[in-house]
Amino acid sequence: MKSSIYFLTALVLTALTARAQEPDSTRKAFLAAQAIIKEQSEKDHKQMLEQLHITALRPGPSGNPEAPNAANVDESQASPYTRLPDPLVLKNGKKVTTAKQWWQQRRPEIVEDFDREIYGRVPKNLPKVTWEVISEKKEMNGDFPVITKTLQGHVDNSSYPAIKVDIELTLSTPANSTSPVPVMMSYGFRFPPGFRMPNPPATTLPAKPEPTWQQQLLAKGWGYAVIYPTSYQADNGAGLTKGIIGLVNKGQPRKPDDWGALRAWAWGASRALDYFETDKAVDARKVGIEGLSRYGKATAVTMAYEPRFAIAFVGSSGEGGVKIHRRKFGEQVENVAASGEYHWMAGNFIKYAGPLTPNDLPVDAHELVALCAPRPVFISSGSPKVEGNWVDAKGMFLGGAYAGPVYKLLGRKDMGTMEFPPIETALVDGDVAFRQHSGGHTTGPNWPTFLLFADRYFN
């Protein structure tokens, strides 16, 4: 946990250092903008609480292990719940025993619960997206020649011209390929100008430079893409009246069951997949989705709701992702429901931080993984000594393991065990996979294992 805090603190300090090197007027403008975002986010959060008739929320625990309200990291206290919702029992109490029952009855029930209470409903009749190739160039990525396209997806804003939305995307495919190739698309972070990623603690540095994840894909003859979620929906509550959510709502605040940023980001990934289906360089039947942290959450949501994605690589998604909500370990529902993160979710999710509790949730994270079935999902985490315990590696493992009965019902293989494995143990024999690497808050060390897993489906 301390190493994780060091790394996150270093990220913040590096960003501030970059700002400190800029002209004073630029730095002041940046700080002023951040203050406005915080103020507007808190105002929007308060408005949602008023809609929900909530006067107070339970505070979430701290990620600082030295804090008086430090998050629990004691496994003996991690499971206050007595049971989890059963993905194979209908709301009328009847057991689901056939694939037909799953697809026609139980799965729609679970989707409705996630829509209403967790991630929000995607509006009907969303505006059309028109893709434009901004540039196309041949370049080298290490030893590999690639053709890289920079694209923009222009969202039709004729219904509300005050808000303009464009989806930013890059696509790189092997220059020498003579046929369509599989592609892994990653949710990409955008950092401030001048930002430099800090070096992680020395204990996590590799002995020699390893191929990047992009180069590992190219070595297999596959392509890669990066989509930038904040280009079409901001990662803060102030942005909920802007971006694609604001465009559809014509600049008005959300209702409690309206979609949050995670579903909006997933919507953008689906629109990118629309484009891939038109690009002759891409085998659109073999497109996967990958993301880390908040984008790990977005990856899980994307895979659950978009059946065209062939595989998911879910990195350190934690609370709000594939971690069991009911587990009292690391980040909690109360943290995500607060004004800094609530925008990821439907407003209704806030209820479970007061007056309701996570035990009142009609669904849990294992059912999000179950919505991905029968397609393959790889769940990734780092070492608790480096990444920390905030993301709750075991909670994410259980999110995959408890989805197993649905995979088996659909003729696929589950994880094969309910026992949390030792670090660097790859559980990849089933269609739900898990590996906890020895590094930090990154998917990097798990890319080689993931690609071996993906080989079964793409080759």
Tell me the mean pLDDT in the region 228-257: 99
What is the DSSP code string of 297-356?
A: HHHHHHHHH-TT--EEEEES--TTTTS-TT--SSS-HHHHHSTTTGGGS-GGGGGGGTTS
Tell me the mean pLDDT in the region 93-99: 99
Query: What are the structure tokens assigned to 222, written together?
Result: 């596959």
Q: Is the pLDDT of residue 10 over 70?
A: no
Tell me the mean pLDDT in the region 224-248: 99
d(CA 12, CA 380): 24
With residue 433 as reference, give the H or E element that holds it: strand 432-436
Q: Is the pLDDT of residue 17 over 80?
A: no
Give yes or no for a contact between 238 and 40, defined as CB atoms under 8 angstroms apart. Answer: yes
The amino acid that residue 327 corresponds to is R
DSSP state of 59: P
Confidence class of residue 16 from pLDDT cuts 50, 70 and 90?
very low
Confidence class of residue 198 from pLDDT cuts 50, 70 and 90?
low
Q: Is the pLDDT of residue 4 over 70?
A: no
pLDDT of residue 27: 85
Q: Is the pLDDT of residue 20 over 70?
A: no
What is the sign of the dihedral through the CA atoms of 121, 125, 127 and 133? positive
All residues at 6 or more sequence positions from 282 whose CB lies less than 8 Å from its CB, including other chains = 171, 173, 180, 181, 183, 223, 276
pLDDT of residue 30: 92
Model pLDDT for residues 431-456, shown as the tens digit of each residue: 999 999 999 999 999 999 999 999 99
Confidence class of residue 202 from pLDDT cuts 50, 70 and 90?
low
**Pairing label, strands 282-292, 377-381:** unpaired
pLDDT of residue 2: 44
C-beta neighbour count of 23 within 10 angstroms:
8
pLDDT of residue 12: 43
Give yes or no for a contact between 309 and 375, defined as CB atoms under 8 angstroms apart. Answer: yes
d(CA 236, CA 40): 9
DSSP state of 70: B
Model pLDDT for residues 276-330, shown as the tens digit of each residue: 999 999 999 999 999 999 999 999 999 999 999 999 999 999 999 999 999 999 9
pLDDT of residue 22: 60
What domains are defined for the chain? 75-200+207-458 (3.40.50.1820)
Q: Is the pLDDT of residue 259 over 50?
A: yes
Tell me the mean pLDDT in the region 98-123: 99
Query: What are the structure tokens assigned to 118, written together?
Result: 């967790």
Tell me the mean pLDDT in the region 76-90: 95
d(CA 390, CA 318): 7
Beta-bridge mates of residue 379: 314, 434
Beta-bridge mates of residue 183: 223, 287
The amino acid that residue 88 corresponds to is L
Tell me the mean pLDDT in the region 399-426: 99
Convert 330-346 to b/e letters by CB count within 10 Å (16 or more is b): bbbbbbbbbbbbbbbbb
CA 304 to chain centre: 11
Q: In what order do the strands lie in the sheet with 166-174?
A: 129-141, 144-155, 166-174, 223-228, 181-187, 282-292, 311-315, 377-381, 432-436
Q: How far is CA 437 from CA 89, 155, 206, 385, 447, in A?
A: 35, 39, 13, 11, 10
Confidence class of residue 3 from pLDDT cuts 50, 70 and 90?
very low
DSSP state of 440: S
What is the DSSP code string of 195-233?
A: --PPPPPGGGS-SSPPPPHHHHHHHTT-EEEEEEGGGTS
Model pLDDT for residues 337-380, shown as the tens digit of each residue: 999 999 999 999 999 999 999 999 999 999 999 999 999 999 99
CA 342 to chain centre: 14
Confidence class of residue 21 from pLDDT cuts 50, 70 and 90?
low
Q: Name the residue with tokens 């595989």.
A: 311
The alpha carbon torsion through 29, 30, 31, 32 (nearest 10 deg) reads: 50
d(CA 260, CA 341): 10
Query: What are the structure tokens assigned to 8, written together?
Result: 């996150």
